[in-house]
Chain A
Amino acid sequence: MESISAAHQTLEKKANLDRTLTDVQALIDQLQRTRDAVAETPELTAMHVAKLKQPVKASFDKIEESLKDVNKGLNQYQKALKEKFKNAQLPTASNEVLGGENGLVNRAIAMHLLREGKFGVARTFVREVNESQEQQYQQDRGLNGNPAANDGWIQEFADTDAMIMEMESEGKLELREDGEVLDGKGHLQKKFTEMYHILEALRSQHNLSPAIAWARENSTELENRGSNLEFELSRLKFVELYTSSEETMSEDSMTGPLRALEYAQAVFPTFSGRYSREMSNLLGSLAYSSGLDESPYKTLFFNQHPWEDVATSFTREFCSMLGLSSTSPLYTAVTAGGIALPILEKVERVMAASRGQWTSVNELPVETPLPPEMLFHSIFVCPVSKEQATDDNPPMMLPCGHVIAEQSLHMHSRGKNRMKCPYCPNESDPKMARRVYI
């Protein structure tokens, strides 16, 4: 990187058109002087002109010389780049798969934009994709009367426009009572706008109401999933009410805790038994309302990032209810790609050099280690065959508790009805092996 920086500095300081321009100015001055001389003493024209020839030639030589310096600078920079990226040809083999899946890539991008809250860009994008599809459609019809079908996904996003407009005019998205009726067309980005607005309220206005309303609406579903979100929100609300008096200091300092108590009386009974300990903790804290700092309940109240935490868990719940991961998959995938690429590039280079061919199309030829937070599934590699288990070759557990792949099991038992476990002295009937789900 240093040599590139150095080459760039040369370009900025020396190898640029500054000197050329100075030289051109000198040429202009020279011409101007001669012109003035000719105008003043026309009888000496021949001499003036003759005197001009040499300097003009010299000027142009100098100008061209300065351009050569620029060229040299550019070459140096290029050399530095070449040195830096000497082993970095972009791999070519695997990207054809995606080339044909334009529609799916576009769909992923549209969802990513919505997820990031870039509704304006998303709207423009959907419009542009739509336009180019219409155009393609017209063209195809013109050519062979057999147009390709429109991408289905665009229908999903069809009323993004109307919806965003509505949102902008009202300034906020109203939470509808008929939340579940929002399906079919535009379902997804309605959901995303909803999510985005609830998050906005949480993060920048510290307003819990939209989130609580959402959680209440989806209470059963959340409960079924074992999510604590609704309770977490209520707890934060309780804390907020409790501590609000310390700032306002209105009539008497009891208002805050009293309001919190009132809230607790109204809301807490609706929660299931598994929160009973926490709820009694919260209520217990009311007794210490004057000296919370020294109370045993201190930790309940002094969480550093309560809003960020609750926003994160809200995002997770909201997305997973839609069957989506909570960070943008496009981001995760591209980042993983950045990490895996150097390895894949090297493989391609080595393969090309040795004229090898990579034959197993279902699996990458090398390991591409990713950071632990990018491992989402458990992986089972059969200790016998060293192959990963798939639906066609699932993991099987022998009665002794050792697991091998189904194919390995068949190979190992060779059709007999007794086999020894490859990993312990235990013998069993291969039919006793059970499929396990990892």
Chain B
Amino acid sequence: MAEFSTTKLEPDSHLLLDQPLLRLPNELLRKNLKSAQRQIEMTNKNVTSAIQASTNQSPAETLASLDSTLAKAQNLKRKLEALQIEENALHKQQKSRIQHLQELHEIPSLADVKYDHWSHTRLDRLLVDYLLRQGYTESAKELAREKDIDYLVDVNVFEESGKIEKSLREGKMQDCLTWCVENKQALKKIDSNLESELRLQQFIELARSGEMKQRLEAMVYARKHLAGGQDPKFALQAAGLLAQSPDTHVEPYRTMFSPTRYTEIAQTFLRTHHELFALPSQPLLYIALSAGLSALKTPACHSEYALQPSTLTGAPVCPICSTELNELARNVPYAHHTKSFMEEDPVVLPNGRVFGRERLRVLNEKIGTEKGWVRDPTNQGDGVWEVGAESVKKVFIS
């Protein structure tokens, strides 16, 4: 029964890592809808007022006005058609993702070969997600293409956010401001301060130059963008900044003039972006990996007395002991066990090494030890010794 319980697959809880897969397309569809709404509202306003106006116009003027209205309606249609194509693509993506997760529901057990396959796909997906978040876009694209999982990864979304992030780090704010305008409503809903941070930064840049003309411009800018609404402290600080020179040592102005503010804004942008699109703030790979490292790790993995990986012990090399992950796993907690896990019928050799009796027999046969003698299979090189079989003692481990 124990076997059964550890290989049981609970699809519902197993999908923990996969929810962004289904959430993101929905958020994108919502964004798509918002764009459609905006376009329609705008056209509605224009068309209605044009018709209203043409009540008192000459026939020629009316004709011209109707022509331009018609053009606007046609323009609306074109834009909606573009949005519909996008929508279609998203629906299709959504469908294949649902399908992919549905597959998991049809796998009976963790021991099934199909699970192995599914889990490989998941790893590829998490890797692409990680690569995208780190800005290794080319690698991400190549991997997605080679593994044929384009429908499971969001290259475009991350590419766009990556571009904006990069431009922010380089001290350019235009892209990000455009993005803020596009997502104005959604940003308001989550009470984001991203836009005001950007405005403040623009103000700081104007103030930095130190020339009178720019300072005046800064004041105008501040009245326009910083005064309204938010925290009065925000605007006051900005005003105070004008009285300082860029090389000031007075806080908070020194920090405000510092170029590291761009890094902070870039981070704020990413946080906001991920929140808006229901993306986890951390790469999913970290989450899966840290859980996995811990679940696999045992005190033996970093012990100096552990069995050295070797075919002689017959056991496959533990992934945590393997070079790839050993250092990485050094600082994660190890798995909790309440029961010992041993081979059948453990025996102890004179040097204290414990083996399952059967395995010790098989291994010794493989090495070619003579009958009636036993050798520690892990013992190689100069210090090889053999003892009579009677020196192997039974050990009780509960």
Name A residues whose Cβ lies closer than 8 Å to a Cβ of B: 1, 4-5, 8, 11-12, 16-18, 20-21, 24-25, 27-28, 31-32, 34-35, 38-39, 42-43, 45-46, 49-50, 52-53, 56-57, 60, 63-64, 67, 70-71, 74, 77-78, 81, 84-85, 87-88, 90-92, 94-95, 97-99, 101-102, 104-109, 111-113, 118, 120-121, 124-125, 128-129, 132, 143, 224-228, 272-274, 316-317, 319-320, 322-342, 344-345, 360-381, 383, 386, 388-391, 394, 397, 400-403, 423, 434-438
Contact = CB atoms under 8 A, between A and B. Distances in A.
Contact of A120 (B146, B298, B325, B352): B146
Given A74-B30, A338-B119, A437-B353, A56 B47 contact: yes
Given A95-B290, A320-B311, A330 B324 contact: yes
Q: Is the interface of A mostly helix, strand, loop or mixed?
A: helix
Contacts of B66: 31, 34-35, 38
A99 B127 contact: no
A319 B317 contact: yes
Given A94-B291, A320-B311, A371-B111, A379 B337 contact: yes
A16 B5 contact: no
Nearest to A188: B323
A362 B333 contact: yes
Interface in B270-318: 280, 282, 284-296, 298-301, 303-307, 309-312, 315-318
Contacts of A376: 296, 298, 315-321
14 contacts: A60-B40, A60-B44, A111-B324, A113-B143, A128-B137, A273-B368, A334-B288, A335-B122, A363-B333, A364-B335, A368-B295, A378-B343, A437-B305, A437-B353
Interface-central residue, A67, A360, A366, by most chain B CB under 10 Å: A67
Contacts of A35: 63, 66-67, 70
B339 interface: yes
B292 A11 contact: no
Chain B contact patch, size range: 35 or more
Interface string B336-366: 1111111100001001111000000001001
A99 B282 contact: yes
Contact of A45 (B52, B62, B95): B62
B10 interface: yes
A333 B88 CA distance: 36
Contacts of A389: 299
Contacts of A336: 291-292, 295-296
B33 interface: yes
B267 interface: no
A89 to B, nearest CB: 9
B306 to A, nearest CB: 7
Contact of A401 (B63, B335, B394): B394
Nearest to B381: A224
Contact of A53 (B29, B51, B74, B136): B51
Q: Is the interface of B mostly helix, strand, loop or mixed?
A: helix
Contacts of A361: 333
Contact of A17 (B7, B80, B135): B80
B16 A32 contact: no
Given A324-B317, A337-B291, A363-B334, A81 B29 contact: no
Interface-central residue, B26, B33, B130, B299, by most chain A CB under 10 Å: B299
Contacts of B393: 401
A88 to B, nearest CB: 5
Interface in B114-171: 119-120, 122-123, 126-127, 130-131, 134-139, 142-143, 146
A390 B299 contact: yes
Nearest to A70: B33
B264 to A, nearest CB: 14
A323 B323 contact: yes
Interface-central residue, B6, B134, B289, by most chain A CB under 10 Å: B289
Interface-central residue, A336, A368, A372, A374, by most chain B CB under 10 Å: A336
Contacts of A125: 131, 136, 139
Interface in B1-15: 3, 5-7, 10-15
A101 to B, nearest CB: 6
B95 A12 contact: yes
B30 to A, nearest CB: 6
Contact of B322 (A38, A118, A329): A329
Nearest to A222: B311
Nearest to B81: A21
A323 B287 contact: no
A388 B84 contact: no
A132 B70 contact: no
Nearest to B84: A17
B259 interface: yes
The 8 tightest CB contacts between A and B, nearest first, are A337-B292, A329-B319, A376-B318, A342-B13, A42-B59, A325-B317, A337-B288, A333-B292
Contacts of A64: 40
B338 A367 contact: yes
A87 B17 CA distance: 12
B316 A316 contact: yes
B199 interface: no
Interface string B244-280: 0000000000000001100000000000000000001
B202 interface: no
A241 to B, nearest CB: 26
Interface-central residue, B295, B307, B321, by most chain A CB under 10 Å: B295
A8 B305 contact: no
B225 interface: no
A390 B67 contact: no
Contacts of B340: 378-381, 383
Interface stretch (B97-105, B176-184, B214-222): B97-105
B380 interface: yes
B77 A381 contact: no
A371 B101 CA distance: 21
B142 A95 contact: no
Given A1-B98, A28-B77, A401-B393, A11 B29 contact: yes
B367 interface: yes
B319 A333 contact: yes
A155 B181 CA distance: 44
